[in-house]
Amino acid sequence: MDAPQLPKLDRSPLKRGRFRRLRWLLELGAMLIALSAAYIHFYLYLPAGSGPAGPAVDRAAFETMWTDRKVLLVGIGDSVTAGFGASRGKSYFDRLVKNPPDEFAELRVISLSRVLPILDSLNISLSGSNSLQHLDHIRDRLPVQTDDVFGLVVITTGGNDLIHWYGQRPPQEGAMYGATLAQAQPWIDNYGQRLETMFSQIESRFPGGCLIFVADIYDPSDGAGDPESVWLPAWRDCLPILTAYNAKLREIGANHPAVRVVPVHDTFLGHGIHCRKFWRANFRAADPHYWYHENIEDPNDRGYDALRRVFLNAIAAERETIAQ
């Protein structure tokens, strides 16, 4: 007699359940990988790019000599004018004077030495210095010139007033990272008074006349007001204080006919820590790259190229004044 046959279990629902769970896990894994890749691309990946950076320079302005008078180019300020982080010969100050051997073709013969045959240079800037020290540098290290010398003075000042000491110490004048706007207001007013004295002191050093080209302060946060990183704590009022500093610089500069404010802030917007975020207002589709050094304070080589260009354009616009 045959043994009774047990009914066969239908395992297909179990198999379908396992398959659905496996597919869900695979889809979740793929989504997490995609989100991680997107985060890295838009938040951590800051490529510098390659090639020229910054605005075009009018070649026609550099085709003929501007003047045969003696001209002294003076650099004053912090690490930006000192060229911290730049390759040899590629700081903006160096490139104002002469072109490096591997200069981009479009600017190969565009420098101040090409149009000012009797040009000398003096760079008294110091990495890490703030605007309080810059006033001392002018007093102690910029000699009075003879009246046959015309001065071209390029300045970056005030940036270190804001960034130091990176929130690791209580904010103070000249090192106000982490300050509130109310706390910083007296320091902002003092900055204006220092600028007034700095400009007057420079003018007094050049009895033969001068032009002063001072850069406004750029914003590595690209207008977002979030410069914090692994080592920088959040700073709620950084953007209002930066805006107030730049407003004070323009206010004082307007009081001096020899002063020109160079628009570095607007030139660098979109090339800071948010340079890859296409949805932001300051995104620069033509060059969505990072123009800053690893320390977020100073430019990289492409940033220095852009600085050189914006300063050259500002100086070239005054070539008739220089020639007088």
Q: Over the stretch 37-91, which tens digit does the pLDDT of each residue have?
A: 444 555 656 999 999 999 999 999 999 999 999 999 999 999 999 999 999 999 9
CB-based burial, 113-151: b 16+ in 10 Å, e otherwise: ebbbeebebebbbbbebbbbbbbebbeeebeebeeebbb
The predicted model scores a pTM of: 0.88
| Number of domains the chain is built from | 1
Does a structural domain hold residue 20?
Answer: no
Q: What is residue 34's predicted lDDT score, i.e. its pLDDT?
A: 53
295 pLDDT band, cuts 50/70/90, is confident
Q: Distance of CA 321 to CAs 120, 151, 209, 214, 278, Å?
A: 18, 11, 10, 17, 41
- Cβ distance 322 to 68 under 8 Å? no
Which residue range(s) make up the domain with 169?
A: 61-323
Does a structural domain hold residue 73?
Answer: yes
Does a structural domain hold residue 282?
Answer: yes
Runs of H (alpha helix) within the chain: 12-39, 79-82, 92-97, 112-115, 131-141, 159-163, 181-204, 238-253, 264-268, 301-316, 319-323
Does a structural domain hold residue 255?
Answer: yes
Q: What percent of the chain has pLDDT over 70?
A: 86
List the beta bridge partners of residue 123: 75
Residue 253 in 3-state DSSP? Answer: helix
First-to-last C-alpha distance (Å) of the chain: 125
- Cβ distance 121 to 73 under 8 Å? yes
Q: Which residues, 6 or more positions from 113, have their beta carbon under 8 angstroms from its beta carbon?
A: 97, 98, 119
**145-171: average pLDDT:** 96
Does a structural domain hold residue 124?
Answer: yes
> 228: burial class by Cβ within 10 Å (0-12, 13-18, 19+)?
middle
Chain-wide mean pLDDT for the chain? 91
Residue 145 in 3-state DSSP? Answer: coil
232 pLDDT band, cuts 50/70/90, is confident
Question: Which CATH number do you get for residue 310?
Answer: 3.40.50.1110
Does a structural domain hold residue 130?
Answer: yes
Residue whose entry in the numeric block shows the structure tokens 């043994």: 3
**80-108: average pLDDT:** 96
- Cβ distance 211 to 321 under 8 Å? yes
Does a structural domain hold residue 47?
Answer: no
Does a structural domain hold residue 8?
Answer: no
